[in-house]
Chain A
C-alpha cells in the first residue's frame, strides 16, 4: 500500500516514514508543506495520505484545506489528519463530504505505534478513525434529549462506535462479549431511531448523521 506523508517537523516525518515502512507501507513521498503534498498526491496516487493540520507557511489549517482538496479531487485517496489539538470544526469539515476513508487523530497518538497503525490501516481500508477526544467534543455539542435516553454503558458503546471501532474492538475495550456489544448497539439504534447497518464505517456515518456533523 502506498502512503504519502505531509509533516513539517523533520523528526516526526522521518519517524512516520520509518513506522509506515516497518508495517509494510510504501512511502514514495514525505513532504513538509501543503503545496508539495498536492503535487505528490497527483504524482503518486497513494491509497492513504497522512497530513499534519498545521503546516507552513501560515501554520494554521493548511493541512485541513489540503485534505479537503484531496478528498474532492481524488475521492479514492484516504486521508488521516494529525493535529496538535482537537478542533471539532476540522473534523466536521472533513466528515461532511464522506465518512469513509477519513481519520482525525491527535498527534501524540502516533507515539503508540500499534494504535496508530491500526487506525491508519482502518482509514486506508475505507473505514473511519476518530480520536476519542474528537468524539467527546462532538458528543458534547449534541448533548440533546435522545442521547439522554441511553444508559451509561450504551453511551460508552456509542462513543467507541463513533471512533470507528468494530464490535470485537468494542468488546475488548469494555471487557464484555461480542453478543453483548451487538445487543447494546441494537438498543442504541432503537433508541436513536436509526436503521441498523453492517459495515463499520456506515455505523459511524449513521452516528455522525445523527450528531448532525454531516448533512
Chain B
C-alpha cells in the first residue's frame, strides 16, 4: 500500500506563503500606503510644483501623519507615539524640529515607499498572470510579437515557472518593504532616542514618587490605627488599673502587688507604643507640620538643641517625612556617637528647596560610607531627589546639610 509521508515543512510554507494572512495583510498595508505617498511623488515629478508643495506639506503634514499613523496601527498594529502632546503650539513644534522630520517623511520617504510598494504590488499581478499563462494564452492572437503560432511553446513553461517563483518570493519582499517603511515612519514620525529617554526618566521619576508616597501613606495609616486603637485601649486599661490601686484598700497585699505591677506594665507599654508610633509617622507631623514635630523631638533630645525654623508654608508630606526622620536620626547620632554637648538645627525654605543644616560640637569622625544609619539618611534624601552632605573631620564639628525639593 502507498503510504503518504508528511511533506517537508519548508516547501509547504513556500507554497502557502502567497496566500497566508501575513502576505495579505502586508499587501493591504502597502497598498494603503500608495495613495498617501503618490501625491507628493506626482507633485515632485514637476520641479515647478515645488514652490507651493513645500508650504502645503508643512501645513498638511499633520493630516498626512495622522493618516500614516492610523494605517500603521490598523494594519500592522504598530503605534507610533506622537512626539509632542496633542495641541502643542507651533513654536513648540518648530523648536522640537518635529515638523521638519514630518515633512521629510512625507516628501521623501513616503513617495519612495509608495513607488516600491507599487512595484511590489505590480509583481503580484505579473506573478499571477505569468503563473496562469496556460489558462489564457489562447486569447492572444497569432502572428503578433507575443505569440508566433498556435500550440504550447516551451517559453510558456518558463513563464509559468517564473510566475510561480515570483509568487513564492513575494511575501518576503512585501514583509521586507513593510518593515522598512515601519522603521522609517517610527524614526521620522515618532519620538527620537532623546525624547524616549526623557519620557522614560519622567515615567520613572513619577513611579518612584508614587512608590515613596505609597510607603509613606501606609506608615501614616498604621500609625493612625495604633494611635486611635491600641494606644487608647492601653491608656484606658492603665487608667482602670490605676483606679483599682486607688480604691481597693481591703484586698490581700499580694493581690495589690499584682495590680501595681500590672499598672506599671501597662504604663511601660504605653511608653513603648508611643516610641514605636513616633518612629512610624508622628501625628503631629501630619497635623501641625515640620516645625511642631521637630520641636517635639528637639525637646526630647538628651543633647540641648537650638532650633531655628523658617518655613513660610508646608512642603509635600513625603518630603516632611524625609526631613523629620533625617533630623531624628541625626539627633540620635549626635547624642549616641558624637558625644556632643549641643546641636544647632536650622530649617530654611527657598523658592522650591528645603535646606536643613544640623551641626553638633561632638568628636566628629562620622563616615557615611561606614555607618548604616548615615547611609540610610543619604538614601532617604535620594528617594525624593534630594542631596545629603556630611562633613565630619576627626575632632569635630560634624555638619549635615540636606537639600530637598519642596514638592515632588
Contacts and interface: CB of A to CB of B under 8 A. Distances in A.
A113 B287 contact: no
Interface in A1-35: 9, 11-12, 14-16, 18-19, 22-23
A86 interface: yes
Interface in B23-63: none
B233 A11 contact: yes
A137 B299 contact: yes
A36 interface: no
Contacts of A16: 239
Nearest to A143: B306
B396 interface: no
B305 A140 contact: yes
A133 B300 contact: yes
A19 B227 contact: no
Interface string A43-54: 000000000001
Interface residues of A, number: 33
B298 interface: yes
Interface in A98-145: 107-108, 110-114, 133, 136-137, 139-141, 143
A88 interface: yes
Interface of B: 227-228, 231-236, 238-240, 242-243, 245-247, 263, 266-267, 270-271, 274, 282-284, 287-288, 292, 295-296, 298-300, 304-307
Interface of A: 9, 11-12, 14-16, 18-19, 22-23, 54, 60-61, 84-89, 107-108, 110-114, 133, 136-137, 139-141, 143
28 contacts: A9-B228, A9-B232, A11-B232, A18-B243, A22-B243, A22-B246, A61-B287, A84-B283, A84-B284, A85-B282, A85-B283, A85-B284, A86-B284, A88-B292, A88-B295, A89-B288, A111-B238, A111-B266, A112-B267, A113-B242, A114-B242, A136-B300, A137-B295, A137-B298, A140-B295, A140-B305, A141-B295, A141-B307
Given A88-B292, A140-B299, 10 more contacts: A15-B240, A18-B240, A19-B239, A54-B287, A85-B284, A87-B287, A108-B231, A112-B267, A140-B295, A143-B306
